């Protein structure tokens, strides 16, 4: 049942994130900030307490949609921490400003990261990709804009085939693309100069949490001597891991893996569908951020600089039972 406090855009955005119509860590972060902006614009709250409470409720609704990409809570944090003012009007203005600022910073960070990642790519290089990452593609786009000829081996990325999106976008950039099934990756690793992936979260020890299959690819790449880089803006840094928390891996519906009819025809079996996995830092050569490239083991220094020793959860109500309609 829909929450009367929430603007329909918030619930629609939450639904689209959950069903992956909106997907990919950076895109999810931008959509969440934009949904808070809509809530702020449309809210009919008559008191500042009520306005703040509805914004927190909207953030909670968005925050629970997908658990692995930390860009989502980091985006909500960015906006809610800047919600400030004595009146509904000033609170509204502060949320709109923060959401606009966040989306703008996201775009600039991706462009800066792309320029840094492109420096690692030489003219004529061949890159293997996994899933669809706008941060990873920004590196290739910047290299192409520098006049380098880049070709790509694109992994299909079962079960949702995000590799098809990558293939399409690379073709739009004029990149020569070879599409392969995931299980063919090792065969082609000897032919590529880099493995380039994105990230949903980066842990304090430098582990890269990304689409399922990334860790197996990284292990094979290391075995083959192919360098692997993860392109990840700093909103992918997971502050909770500074204090020992682990990153929750999303388990998605089994129907993404097998249709019910085929499953029924096989008989009694268990189907599991983890959406992400964890690649330990020893398999990653570089994490590319808008603040520079880092060996994974040193990313913790940047995390401390950005987050201190931890973060709050500004979407939680300071005391229960505040909301009285929007």
Catalytic residues: 131, 200
Backbone φ, ψ for residue 274 (5° rounding):
-70, 135
* Assigned token pair, 130: 């996994």
Q: Which is nearer to ligand RUB, 10 or 25 (CB)?
A: 25
| Residues in 285-314 at the binding interface with ligand RUB, rule: CB under 6 A | none
114 binds ligand RUB (CB under 6 A): no
**Per CB under 6 A, 155 contacts ligand RUB:** no
CB of 161 to ligand RUB, least distance (A): 10
Q: Which of 133, 201, 215, 326 is in the footprint of ligand RUB by CB under 6 A?
A: 133
**Which residue number, 3 or 182, has a Cβ lying nearer to ligand RUB?**
182
Q: Is 184 left (phi over 0), alpha (psi -120 to 50) or beta?
A: alpha
Q: From residue 312, how far is each of 308, 309, 315 by CA, in Å?
A: 11, 11, 9
Q: Does 23 bind ligand RUB (CB under 6 A)?
A: yes
Strand order in the sheet with 286-289: 176-180, 151-155, 126-129, 194-197, 228-231, 286-289, 292-294
Taking CB under 6 A as the rule, does residue 134 contact ligand RUB?
A: yes
Site for ligand RUB in 194-213 (CB under 6 A): 198-200, 210-211
Gap between the Cα atoms of 304 and 158, Å rounded: 35
Candidates 8-16, 19-27, 118-126, 220-228: pick the segment binding ligand RUB (CB under 6 A): 19-27
Site string for ligand RUB, 160-199 (x = CB under 6 A): --x-----------------------------------xx
Q: Does 277 bind ligand RUB (CB under 6 A)?
A: no
Residue closer to ligand RUB (CB basis): 133 or 226: 133
Taking alpha carbons only, the member of 93, 325, 293, 55 closest to residue 196 is 293
The answer to whether 135 contacts ligand RUB (rule: CB under 6 A) is yes
Looking at beta carbons, which pairs linking 254-262 to residues 24 or more positions away fall under 8 Å? 256/159, 256/160, 257/159
Q: Give the residue, chosen from 9, 24, 54, 61, that forms a contact with ligand RUB under the rule CB under 6 A.
A: 24
Tell me which stretch binds ligand RUB (CB under 6 A): 4-12, 25-33, 145-153, 178-186.
25-33
Q: Which one of residues 10, 14, 26, 237 is an interface residue with ligand RUB (CB under 6 A)?
A: 26
Which of residues 51 and 276 has its CB atom nearest to ligand RUB in the complex? 276
Binder to ligand RUB among 10, 32, 57, 69 (CB under 6 A)? 69
End-to-end CA distance of the chain, in Å? 16
Torsion sign across C-alpha atoms 180, 182, 187, 191: positive
For residues 83 and 117, which CB has a smaller minimum distance to ligand RUB in the complex?
Answer: 117
Residue whose C-beta lies closest to ligand RUB: 198
Record the tokens describing residue 67, joined without a space.
Answer: 């658990």
9: how many CB neighbours lie within 10 A of its CB?
18
CA–CA distance, 297 with 178 (Å, rounded to integer): 33
Say if CB 127 and CB 140 are below 8 A apart: yes
Using DSSP's 3-state secondary structure scheme, residue 251 falls into strand
Nearer to ligand RUB, 112 or 135 (CB): 135
* 275 binds ligand RUB per the rule CB under 6 A: yes
**Closest by alpha carbon to 234, among 170, 184, 307, 151?**
307
In the complex, which residues of this chain contact ligand RUB (CB under 6 A)? 23-27, 69, 131, 133-136, 162, 198-200, 210-211, 275
């Amino acid at each position: 049942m829909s929450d009367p406090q929430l603007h329909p855009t918030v619930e629609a955005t939450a639904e689209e994130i959950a069903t992956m119509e909106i997907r990919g860590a950076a895109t999810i972060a931008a959509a969440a900030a934009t949904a808070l902006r809509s809530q702020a614009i449309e809210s009919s709250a008559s008191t500042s307490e009520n306005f703040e409470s509805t914004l927190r409720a909207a953030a909670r609704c968005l925050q629970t949609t997908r658990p692995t990409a930390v860009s989502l809570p980091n985006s909500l944090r960015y906006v809610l921490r800047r919600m400030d003012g004595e009146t509904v009007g000033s609170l509204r203005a502060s949320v709109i400003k923060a959401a606009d600022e966040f989306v703008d910073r996201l775009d600039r960070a991706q462009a800066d990261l792309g320029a840094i990642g492109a420096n690692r790519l030489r003219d004529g290089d061949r890159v293997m990709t996994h899933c669809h990452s706008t941060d990873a593609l920004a590196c290739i786009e910047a290299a192409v804009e520098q006049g380098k000829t880049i070709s790509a081996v694109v992994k299909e990325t079962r079960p949702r085939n995000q590799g098809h999106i990558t293939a399409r976008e690379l073709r739009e950039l004029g990149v020569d693309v070879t599409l392969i099934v995931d299980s063919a990756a090792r065969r082609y690793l000897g032919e590529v100069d880099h493995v380039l992936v994105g990230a949903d979260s980066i842990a304090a020890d430098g582990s890269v949490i990304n689409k399922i299959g990334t860790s197996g690819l990284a292990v094979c790449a290391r075995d083959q001597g192919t360098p692997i880089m993860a392109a990840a803006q700093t909103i992918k840094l997971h502050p909770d891991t500074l204090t020992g928390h682990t990153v929750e891996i999303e388990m998605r519906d089994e129907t993404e893996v097998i249709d019910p009819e085929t499953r029924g025809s096989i008989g009694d079996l268990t189907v599991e569908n983890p959406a992400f996995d964890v690649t330990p830092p020893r398999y990653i050569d570089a994490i590319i951020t808008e603040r520079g490239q880092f060996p994974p083991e040193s990313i913790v220094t940047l995390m401390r600089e950005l987050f201190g020793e931890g973060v709050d959860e500004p979407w939680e109500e300071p005391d229960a039972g505040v909301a009285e309609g929007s």
